[in-house]
Amino acid sequence: MALFTTPTKNQLVENAGDIVKTYVFTKIAVTSIVNGYATEISLVAIHQNDILRNMEMNMDNYKPPRIIDKLTIFLDAQQPIDKHLSAVFKLKTEDLHAAHKSAFDSDAVGLIYGFLERQEAPVCLVCHNGFRLDFPLLKHHLNSMDRSIDKISGSDLLCSDSLWTCKMLDASKESLTKRGVSVFDMLYYTQNSLHERLVNKPMPACLTCEEINMFLLEMCIRMGDTFVQSLCCKKFSDVVNTRNNKNTTICNNILATTENTGTFVFFDLETTGLINPKITEICMMAVNKSSLQATDVGAFPRVIDKLLVVVDPDEEIEPVASQLTKLSNVNISERNKATFGTNTSLLVAQFLNRQKGPVCVIAHNGDGFDFPILQSYLDSCVSDTFNNVYSADTLIGLRFLLQPVSDDAPKVSCALKDVYKRYFPQQPLESMHEAESDVVSLMKIVRANPELERWLDENKKLLIA
């Protein structure tokens, strides 16, 4: 097997960096290197503006861009994960078993396509060694469903291999198709080696797919215009599926289980303000209840599906809200983020539909804020998909559980930041009023309080009555 798949010159898109508007960093975890199947797919989308603004950033104190969309889905690959890859991706076969994840299905395709459709086109997938591994595997799974994502918003979906972009930079005066590939090349152009060259520190040996994407994002931002102008890119339609799709059934669902555990979906919105609020950001993280219960307090479950999108509210964002969330009409419009329409309603519906039911959506002050707003946005075309979806409010639960035993007892604050500090006094609470960070904090609070978890389960009600 070739170490790298060499792109031919007639496949490459010339001056691709001049046309790409959105880069979607892509990583797929697999059960095995040879004929393996996907267990996790992570997509991290940023606008080209954020790649090109590296000169404005303090790289000694690098932080990811504020406006970033994320999608992570886990898949039942129906075969055990190799021990080596299990360690590399920090993902065990039993983790997937306990989480009751679905196989790659129409909802998975819909989530990927809908996520890409929300981005400004032309869209380019970016992956390290993607020409050899990730892109053909994604094409294989799509073909197995007789589906295609070759066109996004009317434009060709592009894909770029950062390994070959870096090789082209190092061999700018040498014909790419004539350059030989040696063992030295393999070691020199691994993502870890390139990251160490550009960032002056190595990557950890074991990472989740999203973490791998975020490290690659940092590397590309540090390269900035050099990365954009040297983009080694081809059309996704030119990616060759190297497998036979006729035999896609691997085994008789060895990870299947009849246990009905249900799923918690932790949820948060950022909005234009408190008066007539419109959504500017939505985050959902789905974790199987048994997986959450098996996680150490203060830790983070490994198998978590994630949906994070920034939304154009199509209305003025109040200055106070903009200051808190770091989202403004200017930085959202500069990245041409889509409004919350049918596309986003379908994304939410497909995301929830992939989870093991019954599903309980959890938000802090959800009854008073997040749930009514979400309900007002959801398109009528997806209302039938919420029959087995419930909601529960942690603020109400905490007020019930922490209410003073007497009138003389001091009242206990149930604000999210105060509750978090009580449970995790040694862990700083960062990035308040950023949807993803708030969801992580809420999940950790629920895990730290089994009584609250039981209350949420016992007091859930239909999200859409």
DSSP state of 74: E
Count other Cβ atoms within 10 Å, centred on residue 186.
14
433 touches 270 (CB < 8 A): yes
Strand partners, 307: 71, 284
The first and second tokens of residue 251, run together, are: 């085994």
Pairing of strands 279-288, 305-310: antiparallel
Helices and strands counted in the chain (H then E): 19, 14
Rounded to 10°, the helix 394-401/450-458 angle is: 120
Q: Can you tell me whether residue 22 is helix, strand or coil?
A: strand
339 touches 391 (CB < 8 A): no
d(CA 351, CA 437): 19
* Annotation says 433 is catalytic: yes
Contacts (Cβ under 8 Å, ≥6 apart) of 265:
284, 285, 286, 352, 355, 359, 360, 361, 362
Name the catalytic one among 97, 128, 141, 433: 433
What's the gap between Cα 150 and its chain centre? 21
| Catalytically annotated residues | 433
